[in-house]
Amino acid sequence: MQVIASEIQKQMAGASWIRKMFEKGLELKREFGAENVFDFSLGNPDMPPPRQAREVLVDLSESICKPLEMGYCPNAGLPAFREMLAGFLAEQQQVPMRAGHVVVTCGAAGALTSFFRAVLEPGDEVMCPAPYFVEYGAYCGHFGGVLKAVPALPPDFQPDLDAMAAAVTERTRVIIINSPNNPAGCIYTRETLGCMAELLKKVNAARKRPLYLVSDEPYRFLAYDGAEVPPVLNLSPYALVLGSFSKSLSLAGERVGYIAANPSMPDVDLLMNAVTMTNRTLGFVNAPVLGQRLVMSLMREGVDVAVYDERRRAMAAVLRAAGIDFAMPQGAFYFFPKAPNNDDKGFVQALLAHNILAVPGTGFGFPGYFRLTFCVDKRVIEKSAPGFKAAVQGFTRGA
């Protein structure tokens, strides 16, 4: 007897490597004690929200007892929040915007899912450079979309533009990019993004159903050594950006995200109305009202990027000492090193023997590499150094 849908059964069989390793970490912590386990598996921001959050919450606590303060809100988000967010994104993305060009969502995941539901027909393709965030395939697959990954170019993991252009078909509906990238930590250059815009222009010149460029930007604020994260919304009339405040404000549990469209897009109001409807009918209804009100007061604040940078440098020192090849991440809070012997699954198992949790690159569509998150205490990173060195020595000796 088939209890669940075959597509979901397939997704469960290939369940996220990130979650698998996170659950393994819980098991190891019970066995050996949390202080003896080095968990670099899950990108869960551990820094506290900005200090102003406490004062904002105290003020909100005085107002939430008013009638309807915590009731249903418009499905696209609180009007004042959308207006403020439009102004914020207009500066960031260098395009004029109004509130109608923005829909507030339940995190970036809710933005993507609602957008895919609004534009995809069964069999449509969603193209992305690999490595990519592992759940893109499930997000589009729920509505009959097919994820089509095109390997990027190591060591800096810029997209292979020629290969992407060659992979476009009549069914390619969306190109999704993620910069700063999870898991590679790279930032796509202005030149790379300009070439993508030219590809979009060429393809759409002969299309009735447009090809969209969607930029997934929850890590935009995390760039190091003066690196620039170029705007994407101004590149094409068919460009959209989405993001959240999960990382920048360390409010991941509040699930406040957004999607914004280029105002010059033909039928932009129709698309935003469609996303508003799918946001509702998929069951999100609206992003949490308390979270929206909190972000309104903190939008131009942020966690201390210098702390993440210090951890980044500490992790780089650990990897160098162990003899592991890697490209220094330009942004986000991940390393994506090359696995010894090109065996990502095998090396991740070798790390487990030293209570170190990492995620194989296979889970991100790019085998031969593995991901480490450095949104953990610097002391945890430094204490893991002997384990990394021992894992490399044992793994390469046994090859």
What is the tens place of the pLDDT at every residue in 206-258? 999 999 999 999 999 999 999 999 999 999 999 999 999 999 988 888 899 99
Q: What is the DSSP pairing of strand 102-105 with strand 172-178?
A: unpaired
Give the type of residue at 379. Answer: R
Contacts of 217 (CB under 8 A, 6+ apart): 108, 178, 179, 229, 232, 241, 242, 243
Distance separating alpha carbons of residues 101 and 93, to the nearest angstrom: 13
Query: What is the 3-state secondary structure of 4-29?
Result: CCHHHHHHHHCCCHHHHHHHHHHHHH
- Contact yes or no for 154/168 (Cβ under 8 A): no
pTM of the model: 0.92
Rounded to 5°, angle at Cα 254 from 253 and 256: 125
Contacts of 349 (CB under 8 A, 6+ apart): none
Domains and CATH numbers, the chain: 6-50+304-397 (3.90.1150.10), 71-298 (3.40.640.10)
Check residue 397 and report its DSSP letter: H
What's the pLDDT at 5? 82
Contacts of 276 (CB under 8 A, 6+ apart): 75, 76, 103
What's the pLDDT at 199? 96
Q: How far is CA 268 from CA 177, 195, 197, 271, in A?
A: 20, 23, 18, 5
Average pLDDT of the residues of the chain: 92
Quote the percentage of the chain above a pLDDT of 70: 97
- Contact yes or no for 330/187 (Cβ under 8 A): yes
Q: Of 12-26, 121-135, 281-295, which range is least confident?
A: 12-26
What is the tens place of the pLDDT at every residue in 352-373? 999 999 999 998 999 999 999 9
What's the pLDDT at 13? 61
Q: How far is CA 285 from CA 259, 281, 295, in A?
A: 15, 7, 18
For 80-113, give one letter per residue: b (16+ CB within 10 A) or e: ebbbbbbbbbbebbebebebbbbbbbbbbbbbbb
What's the pLDDT at 46? 86
- Per-residue pLDDT band at 15 (split at 50, 70, 90): low
Query: What is the 3-state secondary structure of 327-350?
Result: CCCCECCEECCECHHHCHHHHHHH
Within 10 angstroms of residue 9's Cβ, the number of other Cβ atoms is 11
Torsion-angle region of residue 168: left (phi > 0), alpha (psi -120 to 50) or beta? beta
